[in-house]
Chains A and B, each alone.
Chain A
Amino acid sequence: MMTLKVNGHDHQIESDPDTPLLYVLRDEIKLNAAKFGCGLGQCGACTVIVDGKAVLSCVTPVLLLEGKQVTTLEGLGTIDAPAPIQRAFMEEQAAQCGYCIAGMMMRAQALLQRNSKPTDEQIRVELEPNLCRCGTHMRILRAVHRAARLMDTADASSPMQGSAQ
């Protein structure tokens, strides 16, 4: 039994320590934003934020996460009060099938937390590990720029619950 801190809450975890974080999030804590894509750390659909950095949850056993802060998309905003990154993706209509989008948003969020005004080139390089098969890349690029602008304005500056660090 270990304690896992997700979106600001402590969870007692029953799974084995070598269980990938993705399974614990989805099956045990019932947070379904992070998606199972390839299970090999090659597509980015399972991306979450751990201590401020984008991490592939399908190849991250929970035993690595003792004392660390995990943030999932649910920790950024809600349907009623979406976070800037979520608003931006909606306003740019950046999702087609949407399967990759949670991972895209998490990696973009991690980028924006350390670089509030990334260039096109920096966004492209950062999001390279995340695959989108529908082809909404140009909209995703615009959405990340839009999120940067939204975060720059005072009313939308901090993500919900303040748990993404």
Chain B
Amino acid sequence: MTGLPRIIAGVIGGVVIAGAAAGFAVTWRPAIAAIDPPALASFDPALVKRGRELAAIGNCNDCHTVRGGKSFAGGLPVPTPFGTIYSSNITPDAATGIGRWSEQAFRRAMRSGVNRDGQHLYPTFPYDHFTHVSDQDDAALYAFLMTRPPVNAPPRANELSFPLDQRFVIAGWKLLFLRHGSFEPDSNKSAEWNRGAYLVEGLAHCGACHTPRNGLGAERPNAQFAGGDVDHWQAYPINAQSPAPVPWDAAALYAYLRQGFHPDHGTARGPMAEVVSNLSSVSESDVRAIATYMASVFGVPTPNQKNQGEAALAQAKSPAPVTLPSDPNATGASIYAAACATCHEAGRAVPYGGVNLALSTALSSPDPRNAVNIVLSGIRPVEGQRSPIMPGFAASMNDDQISALLRFLRARFSNQPPWSSVEKTVADARQTQTVFLQPSSGPHNAPADATQRDKP
């Protein structure tokens, strides 16, 4: 081989080596040395306490705890369009948890999505948000987690197909979508607003559910908070596109996030139940900050939205008109009158009385899923707490009857056009609901590590 071919071969060889080196540099992360699990006494109780509140804001227990299982021991299946990913054990168990992780290893996982061994973590762990968490807050979270009871719970193997089961692929995802340090405080805004922005964009990772994702599973930056999917529920748009009949403001958001309900909006249920349950245990000022920031994301309601909100509130105060037998929704109206109105029009206060459905976001949303889910499975009361309750109707109504009811509710209680896909949504929800209704031993929204809540 002489002359030109040799040069070409040389260039190709060089490119391959450079490519391999670049690929190695992108994908390879070193292991961080294992430590002996630190003694409980080595952590400042005040730091641990702060870590508990931060863990509640981060909703960590929700994904890292199987319903009815030991707190933070992982193993919860998280369905994604790419397969099922199981959450990891973040108790300080040396063999199966993070007991041998140093604070540096923990911080790297939060910031860059890499475990102690140097393996890339799937972005179901929302490090695209957690990368914004400060060093001090990571230290507090670390102190809190390392002082939980260790649980021996080996990780469950993810169910992903090739090539997504190869963790180096995640390095490419990060190259495209992981942005470090993109959160900057806005000096034109109040300290409370900035605190809220820091929490919402970072640890609270609201966008992980409420922002739609692209084909590669990354949040779409140009559709922030425009609504997403989670566990067969719709996470509502929480920006100017919010379908809530009454526009949200900071005071209503605060009450809702803190107590889990607001009289003008109803009760937080579905996956949001865990979130509000956690937020009920953190400092009031942080919840206010989140509410203040999110109110600015929702934006000032337009005069039209304001009028519609007032109309919805007025409708909620007035009794429903009598429906005529010729009404195309007469069957739905009869079902509503007998099965729903006794609670939803009784005028008892939310959350123990049903919200007047003129105020229901589920009914004014373009997507009927949440309304269908609630009608099918109802709302189970939380063990040991005063909590809302609604019977499910999966056993007493067939798909046609539930569809008829939903068409009536949509026509009667929202000012939106009819849903186009009610029947299919009901049939689909019934499928997933059979999974949902499997007896689970734990409460559906366990408070953040309830046994520990009053301790440091």
Contact = CB atoms under 8 A, between A and B. Distances in A.
B334 A17 contact: yes
B335 A125 contact: no
Interface in A24-59: 39-42, 50, 53-56, 59
B396 A56 contact: yes
Contacts of A59: 338-339, 342, 391, 393, 396
Contacts of A53: 395-396
Interface stretch (A1-9, A60-68, A91-99, A136-144): A60-68
B441 A121 contact: yes
Contacts of B398: 64
B81 interface: no
Contacts of A40: 342-343
Contact of B335 (A18, A19, A126): A18
A116 interface: no
Interface string B320-342: 00000000000100110111001
A10 interface: no
Contacts of B338: 18-20, 59-61, 63
B401 to A, nearest CB: 6
Contacts of A61: 334-335, 337-339
Interface in B425-448: 439-441
Contact of A55 (B335, B380, B396, B401): B396
Nearest to B339: A59
B397 interface: yes
B439 A126 contact: yes
A54 B391 contact: no
Interface string B338-381: 11001100000000000000000000000000000000000010
Contacts of A60: 338-339, 396
B40 interface: no
B339 A125 contact: no
B329 to A, nearest CB: 13
Contacts of B395: 50, 53-55
B380 A63 contact: no
A110 to B, nearest CB: 9
A64 B391 contact: no
A51 to B, nearest CB: 8
Interface in A111-145: 121-122, 125-126, 128-129
A60 to B, nearest CB: 5
B52 to A, nearest CB: 29
A125 B383 CA distance: 11
Contacts of A39: 342
B26 interface: no
Report, as a range, how many residues of chain B touch the other chain: 20 to 34
Residue of B342, B391, B393 with most chain A CB atoms under a 10 A cut-off: B391
A64 B439 contact: no
Contact of A128 (B331, B335, B337, B380): B380
Contacts of A125: 439-441
A122 B439 contact: yes
Nearest to B335: A61
B22 interface: no
Contact of B391 (A17, A42, A63, A121): A42
Contacts of A18: 334-335, 337-338
Interface in B390-433: 390-391, 393, 395-398, 401
B389 interface: yes
Nearest to B397: A64
B331 A63 contact: yes
A39 B440 CA distance: 27
A40 B440 CA distance: 24
Contacts of B339: 59-61
B308 to A, nearest CB: 30
A63 B439 contact: no
Contacts of B439: 121-122, 125-126
Nearest to B402: A64
B229 to A, nearest CB: 27
A128 B393 CA distance: 16
Interface string B70-91: 0000000000000000000000
Interface of A: 17-20, 39-42, 50, 53-56, 59-61, 63-64, 121-122, 125-126, 128-129
Closest 5 CB pairs of A and B: A41-B391, A61-B338, A125-B439, A53-B395, A18-B334
23 contacts: A18-B334, A18-B335, A18-B337, A39-B342, A41-B390, A42-B391, A53-B396, A55-B396, A56-B391, A59-B391, A59-B393, A59-B396, A60-B339, A61-B335, A61-B338, A63-B331, A63-B334, A63-B335, A64-B335, A64-B396, A64-B401, A126-B439, A129-B391
